[in-house]
Amino acid sequence: MEALGRHILVEFYNCSPELMNDVVHIEKSMVEAAETAGATVINSTFHHFSPYGVSGVVVIQESHLAIHTWPEFGYAAVDLFTCGDSVNPWVSYQFLEKAFKASHGSSMECRRGQMGLLDRKDFNIDALRNTQAKPYDHPVKFTRDVWFTERDENIALSLKHDGQLYKKESPYQKVEVFATQAYGNMLTLDGMVMCTQKDEYVYHEMITHVPMHSHGNVKRALVIGGGDGGTVRELLRHENLEEVVLVEIDALVIEACKEFLPETASAFGHPKLKLLVEDGIKYINECKDEAFDLIIVDSADPVGPGEGLFTAEFYSQVYRCLTANGIMVTQSESPRFNANVFAEIYDCYKGIFGPDKVHCYLAAIPTYPTGTWSFSFSAKGNAHPLQFDKEKAAQFSVEQNLKYYNEDIHAAAFALPNFVKQLLKK
């Protein structure tokens, strides 16, 4: 008999007690189990009980997956509930059995909402949506309550969105674009926010105009990463530039941004731009000495394909490829969100460029974890971030109608709070 949904009641036995108590692992596994089965994840909420045990739910467009664990017995009770035929819950079963290192599982499938027992009600669907459910003084429009959440163990950022516009797996990462309600279209890689239409200008104006005005005569610039296009868009505002080379490893990032973040990707057709889809590490290793006046490392976090972009080997190659008065600028993570990585990479820069040649500056980026983000400025020669032509910078900011960068922000960004100075041991 046809049914509305499939409900599989699962019991996993002899799972690892540690895993049964690891709320982060369990949530990640349950979300991936849903996605692997072809489901669209809407939201997830998980709770870690004291002293042990985990409970949680993953809401999917096709219903939900739920779990409760008893680490002391190495046991997990799981509900896999799906409606429609697009999702096969047994795929989630197999995924979780491996993820929880269960010796075995038992299961029972129930068909929920058997059609033969149901009478379809004649109702007006719009009325359901526009119901004056509560005593509001205005009609209430029920919208789809769908949230994208980027989180780590302790911090999460959620953005309400109207749907996923793009979702593809590349050989390097999961590339997605969401239509957020507050920040426009948003590019994420492996579930981490890369840029949004509403605040990308902060990152892209600060990672470019600070070094461009500090150097004053950049002819050739190299961008490693930056496949969204925002960094080269800003660089190519500077007419004296002769060539910009962009080396992005993932063609899907460029494809997604051309279609769904067109303002950010607006300079991909620029005549001075040389766009290469290859690994930036391979490119820099094969690059000639002193080839660039400015090298910008516009990478994602030090995970996946970007991990190698946070190493002494890589930065030493960057140093070699800079002209005598060249500058390297990198996105250097958040001194709040990942203080250890932040402190380590600055030690690394100083080891290569010299302790007095490395400077840190900050910017406020609302959709990045904690909203406080940093950039590093390392000079091979005598360039100094606070020795720049303020009038020229002011004029440029007005002429280019910039939304964040100006001569005052340029200088102020290097004024660091004490906790950051502590991290940099200044």
Residue numbers at the binding site for ligand SAM (CB under 6 A): 189, 194-195, 203, 224-228, 247-250, 253, 279-281, 298-300, 305-306, 308-309, 331
Alpha helices (H) in 1-112, listed in sequence order: 17-20, 23-36, 89-99
Distances (CA, A) of 258 to 141, 205, 237, 266, 274: 33, 19, 19, 8, 16
Beta strands in 355-399 (DSSP E): 358-364, 372-379
Which residues make Cβ contacts (< 8 Å) with residue 294, sequence separation at least 6? 211, 212, 215, 218, 220, 221, 222, 326, 327, 328, 329
Nearer to ligand SAM, 45 or 158 (CB): 158
Nearer to ligand SAM, 30 or 300 (CB): 300
Nearer to ligand SAM, 253 or 413 (CB): 253
Q: Give the C-alpha separation, 338 to 303, whole Å.
A: 13
Q: Give the C-alpha separation, 389 to 394, whole Å.
A: 9
Q: Does 408 participate in catalysis according to the annotation?
A: no
Nearer to ligand SAM, 204 or 410 (CB): 204
Least separation in angstroms between residue 238's CB and ligand SAM is: 20
Least separation in angstroms between residue 278's CB and ligand SAM is: 7
Least separation in angstroms between residue 331's CB and ligand SAM is: 4
Amino acid identity of residue 13, one-letter, is Y
Residue 301 C-alpha from the chain's centroid = 8
**By the 8 A CB rule, do 423 and 339 touch?**
yes
Nearer to ligand SAM, 97 or 301 (CB): 301
**By the 8 A CB rule, do 188 and 176 touch?**
yes
Nearer to ligand SAM, 62 or 228 (CB): 228
Which two tokens mark 147? 């949230």
Residue nearest to ligand SAM (CB): 225
> Of these residues, 199, 250, 293, 298, which one is catalytic?
298
Least separation in angstroms between residue 54's CB and ligand SAM is: 30
Q: With the C-alpha atoms ordered 360, 336, 200, 404, is the resulting torsion angle positive or negative?
A: negative
Q: Give the C-alpha separation, 51 to 49, whole Å.
A: 6
Closest CA to 5 of 107, 81, 75, 93: 81
Least separation in angstroms between residue 300's CB and ligand SAM is: 4
Least separation in angstroms between residue 172's CB and ligand SAM is: 6
Catalytic residues: 298
